[in-house]
Amino acid sequence: MTVWICRTCAVEQPDTVAPPGSCAVCSDDRQYVRPDGQRWTSMVELVAEGHRGSVAEVEPGLHGITVSPGVGIGQRSLLVRTPAGNLLWDPTGYVDDALEAAVRELGGVAAVASSHPHMFGAQVEWGRRFDAPVLVQDADRSWVQREDPCIQGWGESVEVLPGVTLHRIGGHFPGSAVAHLVGADGCNVLLTGDTVAGTPDEHWVSFMRSFPNQLPLSAAVVGRVADRVLALDFDRLHDNFGGRVLADAHTWVERSAERYIGWVRGDFDHLTEP
């Protein structure tokens, strides 16, 4: 029996003799199946291929976990460290004994959660290794591919650890979520996955239904997402691929939403006329 992992998205699948016929996550219009077809791997195979994980500080109390060579979508997980335990946010699709040991040195994992189903990764494997609950937003529960008793649902918001709260904001997926916490310097920090994705200038952010397929969200949806996000108090923002806004992030999210809505609504069409 093998716990299969999709080569494209790195979301773990059920423990079966043969791999599934397809990956539900990649067959959806927000993802893709590569031209050479559906391909599967396993954690044992990934270890043998030489993949390794590493941990580095992003800011005090927040560490990034990356895998090289990349696995699946290649997200950077974030480990939120608190005196009451650590949250693993957007778990990688890979974990081995050495990576587990490195995370244990930082206090281990008290809970696992994701911003949306593309980031489920090897969430059950992470949960089992640390005997930690895996929190899945209720609206996205049907996207779980590998069932396990460690999986727990949650509603509109949940305080997963003292001072660390998950909030549903929707958009990318109905259950797309952010994690809100207080940084080591006392300023509020928001972890957004790619539902609110940073841009290279570290100021603006953007919103998409699908980044790989370049599918936008409507002005109405981005307005609702922005309203939910801006109801929170935050100074800094980190996404799941290293994007960040390190100051005045609340204002930049508001400006970014207004700019996006204006473009998809047609306010600036005059700038594109030949």
Q: Tens digits of per-residue pLDDT, 80-109?
A: 999 999 999 999 999 999 999 999 999 999
**pLDDT tens per residue, range 193-239:** 999 999 999 999 999 999 999 999 999 999 999 999 999 999 999 99
Q: Which residues contact 58 (CB under 8 A, 6 or more apart)?
A: 64, 78, 238
Amino acid at 23: C
CA separation for the pair 28, 227 (Å, rounded): 27
**For residue 187, which phi and psi values (nearest 5 degrees)?**
-85, 150
CA separation for the pair 88, 102 (Å, rounded): 13
Q: How high is the pLDDT of residue 273?
A: 85
When the candidates are 3.40.50.2300, 3.90.209.20, 3.60.40.10, 3.60.15.10, the CATH number that belongs to 2-272 is 3.60.15.10
Q: How high is the pLDDT of residue 237?
A: 98
Other residues' Cβ atoms within 10 Å of the Cβ of residue 201: 8
Q: How high is the pLDDT of residue 244?
A: 98
Structure tokens at 163: 């001072």
Query: What's the pTM value of the predicted model, to 2 decimals?
Result: 0.97
What integer best gives the mean pLDDT of the chain?
Answer: 97
> What SS3 class is residue 251?
helix
| Domain edges within the chain | 2-272
The DSSP letter of residue 76 is P
Residues of the chain with pLDDT under 70: none
Q: Are 148 and 124 in contact (CB under 8 A)?
A: yes
